[in-house]
Structure 1
Amino acid sequence: MQMNCQFLSPTRQAEILPFETAPRPIVGFACDYPSGLATGFHTHPRAQLLYATSGVMRVETPDSNYVVPPTTALFVPANAEHAINMDGPVTMRALFLREDAATHVGSKSKVIAVSGLLREVVVAACAEPVEWSPDGRGQHLAALALDEIAKSSPLPLGLPLPRDPRLRRVISALRSHPGDARSLEEWSEIANASSRTLARVFRAETGLSFRQWRQQARLTEALSALTLGVPPAKAAAIAGFNSVPAFGAAFRELFGITPGQARSLRSGAPR
């Protein structure tokens, strides 16, 4: 593993190396992380399925920002640069995928829904030794995990990030204060570009209008807050909604679940 920060000591890196080089198609990796921990950008030589039985992970790549609550997992291709931030304590139960296994999943980062079966398979895989017996339980768990991952539906939990430095200044401020109601015309002073230019570049680089991007960013922040136990009324305020029913309708349209269901995700018990 290559990292540009001191998240891992040499000893810790040596402990992870077997998971990155094991002669098995899938290897489970279990680790608990404290609230607020940030890994910094790093890469792995193998693809990963990042999953946590409890807690919320924020994962950033050069192109997108993902929020990964329980009941979802993020597939990260091999050698893809990414950084993880822990929103509250996180009980990570992840999988490392060998190249031939990863080809069954895809070549791009994506958030998938984690079924009850996939959750238990991942947890069971993490209990197996790194070099599990090819004739034992690990073989069946690996095959079932790949089948469940391949069948899982992608979820709209990835927020595309523009590369234009003018837009980066705008989204950096919005991510710190998602409820900020300033219009694109008002943001143009900070970005040092006309609102028309900002709108055009925003659409070209993210595929979304500024209004759509901001709405998704706000709802994503609300999702994170809900999974940490914040009540729906406060989550609605975080998302910039004055009406809780209107917030609930927008939230359900984007994520396919209600704010109440999202809030119940925090109850996932560590395994």
Structure 2
Amino acid sequence: MNISLISPEVASSDNEPMIISAALKSSSAKVTELHHHSRGQLAGTLQGLMSIEVESCQWIVPATHGIWIPPNTKHSLLRSHGPFHGWSIYIQKSVCNNLPIKPCILELSSLLREAITRSMTWHNTELQPEHKRLMAVILDEISIIPQVKIALPMPKDIRLLKIALALSDNPSDDRNINEWSVWAGISRRSLTRRFTNETGFNFTEWRQKLRMLKALELLVAGKPITEVSLNLGYDNISRFIAIFRQNFGVTPGYYQKAMRNNHPWRNFTNTII
């Protein structure tokens, strides 16, 4: 489904309000074509992974994080993986000077999440001073929260991208590299070489890291660790715990407890790539 959260005219308007919030929940996957607008955009999902192209780079971003897209930066939503439940805020170009100048992944503090959620209720509402103060909080949070290297790069070769998108839809798919090469119509040798050249990871590493991104979402949602492990294709929970610790420096249980206690995410989510 190709739907924009707001019209192109509004996304490029420098009129008030300073921040425009929009959300969309759909039972089908969502895509948008390559485009740009003069407002800066912070985008994320409430559930699921999304694949985004920004300045010729293609990333997979988990629901635990958001992507900042500066004004006039070309970007597209390659697809959401499964039903779409996403949000965006669009910020006047004139107030983006203190915000990141390049696309980046942000760790979405609890304060920023709550402020954005509150702003979603302001449609067709005359903005009051308290609304504008909360907008200022949103801008402050975007300017100071840490940027993290958590997004997973997507391959560009159309055959490899087909595999990457299929795995993003179903991270537990355990077909081996030979089966994937036949399915995508590419030799195993080419798949192996191109995957490493285009993403920086070999196929096994890339799939493992994709599963870890999905694990973050499921753990934050309160899913039991055993269920998360099985949902991601690990029939050995000890192996899942070991791989999670290898990527994030803590066990899934520790991470889940820290999230419940509103612990800053920066200690865990800057080591996946």
Fold match by TM threshold 0.5: yes
Task: Report the TM-score when normalising by structure 1.
Answer: 0.71
Identify if the C-alpha distance between structure 1 residues 102 and 213 changes in structure 2 by more than 3 Å, giving closer, same or farther: farther
- Where structure 2 has 5 or more consecutive residues not aligned to the other structure, the ranges are 263-273
Which stretches in structure 1 are left out of the alignment for 5+ residues?
A: none
Distance 1:140 1:13 in 2: 23
CA contact (8 A) 2:49 2:168 kept: no
Aligned partner of 2:30 in structure 1 is 39
**Which residue matches 1:189?**
182
> Structure 2 length as normaliser, TM-score?
0.70
| Structure 2 counterpart of 1:168, from 149, 152, 161 | 161
How far, CA to CA, are the matches of 1:50 and 1:256 in structure 2? 27
Aligned residue for 1:212, secondary structure, equals helix
1:24–1:131 Cα contact (<8 Å) kept: no
**Could you tell me how far apart the structure 1 residues matched to 2:17 and 2:243 are?**
40
Q: What's the Cα RMSD here?
A: 3.9
| Distance verdict in 2 for CA 1:159–1:29, change over 3 Å | same
* 1:121-132 equivalences in 2 (<5 Å): 121-126=115-120, 132=127
Query: Which among 39, 60, 64 is matched to residue 59 of structure 2?
Result: 64
Deviation for aligned residue 1:32: 5.8
Q: Which of 96, 100, 108 is residue 106 of structure 1 equivalent to?
A: 100
> Once the two structures are aligned, what percentage of the paired residues are identical?
26
How many residue pairs are counted as aligned between the two chains? Answer: 252
Structure 1: which amino acid aligns with 2:15? P
Work out whether 1:27 is the aligned partner of 2:23: no
Query: Alpha-carbon deviations, 1:115-145, whole Å to 9, x = none?
Result: 2332344345445678857xx4455434432
User: Residues of 1 paired with 2:228 and 2:107: CA distance?
Assistant: 22
Quick check: 1:113–1:153 contact (8 Å CA) kept in 2?
yes
Deviation at 1:208, TM superposition (A): 1.6
Deviation at 1:41, TM superposition (A): 1.1
Q: Mark the CA change 1:256 to 1:145 in structure 2 (over 3 Å): closer, same or farther.
A: farther
Q: Quick check: 1:22–1:131 contact (8 Å CA) kept in 2?
A: no
Q: Secondary structure at the match of 1:82?
A: strand
Structure 2 partner of 1:217: 210
